[in-house]
Amino acid sequence: LFLKENRAKLDFIVSTHSIVSLTKNDNLSQILKSVNSDSWTLTDIGIIDENGDHLAYVGPYDLIDKNYSNTLWFKEVMEKGSYTSDMFMGFRKEPHFVMAVIKKENKRRWILRATVNTDSFCSLVEDVRIGRTGEVYILNSQGIYQTSPGSGGKIMMQAPAFEGDIHDGLEFRFLEAFDKDEKTRKKIVCETWLKDPKWLLVVSVDEKELFVEVGHANRATLVSLHFSALMILVVTIFITRHMIFVIKKRDFEVEGMNNQLMEAGKLASIGELSAGVAHEINNPLAIIMTERQLLLDAEKRTAITDETLGEQFIDSLNQIGTQVLRCKHITRNLLKFARRTRSVIETVDINRFLIEVITLMEREARSDGIEFTSSLDDSLPPILSDPSQLQQVFLNFINNAIDAHKDKGHGMITLSTCLSTDNKGIDITVEDTGSGIKTKDIGKIFDPFFTTKSVGQGTGLGLSICYSIVKQLGGTIQIQSEMGKGTVFTLTFPFEPPGDLMKHG
């Protein structure tokens, strides 16, 4: 259990951390401190690259400049992926053993190596008492002591009378040994092989004591029960922490879903309000336009004799017409935002579609000193989508890109296509060299009625409508922007839209 628990700690560290986070600042020190918070089980931790050099190290020894490429444990872990070594001396010139696991990250392999605290491990075995003469120790597959036996011998010495037969389960045998006074003692030895690492756990006791002093067996049972209770406590703590982690994770996911539902509810409410406002405004606008036309007709029948007054009269009516058209444009955008038009799903060659959009907008862009460039992947397959809604999306993005160059008077807009990273759709990038978007505004540009343009220059509904269309078609939008250098919008569309659109489209 001790070995498995420490192996699990290393596996957990490599599965939840990248090499960047482990080698950054004091992260490794914090991890070692956290691992040893309950008991001091690890002496040091090191991050080692595939060439055997330290990338990071925390511990009491000066090992950061050591190379391990020629050591046995390094070769074993590179071959097997994880390894627990036998006791060895190494660079620190004292008996110890290490646990190491390897991780492959971005085509790069690196090793997390930890030195198990020798005293802590040895005490776990050597402190077990079976009567007065009983002793417990561990040998490796060559018969080398991994812990010190009580009757003599030290770690990394060769054990006498070692047979080395590997077997399953428990095996009992009688052994004759000599004590410090060179007297023969008969011992009963019980052995079992551990699986990982391949160590032999040995329990021996004097035959005389075992059969004569039965009371010692009761004490041994009591020690075993306490040890088992301790292990149960350790496992219970580990499982409880894991359950708490799972519960917190699920609570976080539920909170995210609730936020999405609240956002959808807000958008629905704004949509209903927008539709009502648009209809209410359109009626008086129509009356204003009718009255304006009547005034124009009346002016033609009865000319105003005062030339200055006549010019002011015509200018005022023209201004009324201009502002009414502007109001109609606003209400039309409100209705577009509020209504969900039925999608017509067709096969779309996205490259040809974008070329048509560029051709449509090129003249307007050129008049503002802006050039179009494209980088289209000819190997892309067609997608199933709604071409009319796609046109609305890309015309809006390109118009915004043109507007972003107003202060510069020149620039470039680049459209590119490629296969998405998950190979389940396509990525379309609209990149401009305009003024860019402030960092604090990036998270709000898709909100209804939010605009970075001057007063009277935009309604703040264009990108919100585009966002709704892209989501409806099963796509996503990502933004990268830097003030003064430009903005990049990356739109990802699946090869097929969501199932409900396929049924109704």
Three-state SS for 10-21 is: HHHHHHHCCHHH
Q: What is the per-residue pLDDT for 389?
A: 83
How far is 100 from 347, CA to CA, in rounded Å? 54
Q: What is the per-residue pLDDT for 181?
A: 61
Nearest Cα residue to 379 out of 422, 415, 426: 426
Q: What is the per-residue pLDDT for 214?
A: 61
Q: What is the per-residue pLDDT for 235?
A: 93
Question: pLDDT tens track of the chain, all 505 residues?
Answer: 888 888 999 999 999 999 989 888 788 999 999 988 888 889 999 999 999 999 999 999 988 999 999 999 999 999 999 999 999 988 888 899 999 999 998 888 999 999 998 888 888 888 887 777 788 999 998 889 989 887 777 888 888 777 777 777 888 877 776 665 666 778 888 889 988 888 999 888 887 777 765 666 778 888 999 999 999 999 999 999 999 999 988 888 888 777 666 655 555 555 566 666 666 676 777 777 777 777 777 777 777 777 777 778 877 877 787 777 767 766 665 555 555 445 578 889 999 989 988 887 887 788 888 899 999 999 999 999 888 788 888 888 888 888 888 878 789 999 999 999 888 899 999 999 988 888 888 888 877 766 766 544 555 667 888 888 888 888 999 999 988 889 999 999 999 888 766 555 5
Rg of the chain, C-alpha, whole Å:
39
Three-state SS for 38-58 is: CCCCEEEEEEEECCCEEEEEE
The reply to whether omega before 498 is within 30° of 0 (cis) is: no
Q: What is the per-residue pLDDT for 271?
A: 58
How far is 67 from 111, CA to CA, in rounded Å? 13
**CB neighbours of 10 closer than 8 A, spacing ≥ 6?**
99, 100, 101, 112, 114
Q: What is the pTM of this model?
A: 0.40
- Count, residues in the chain: 505
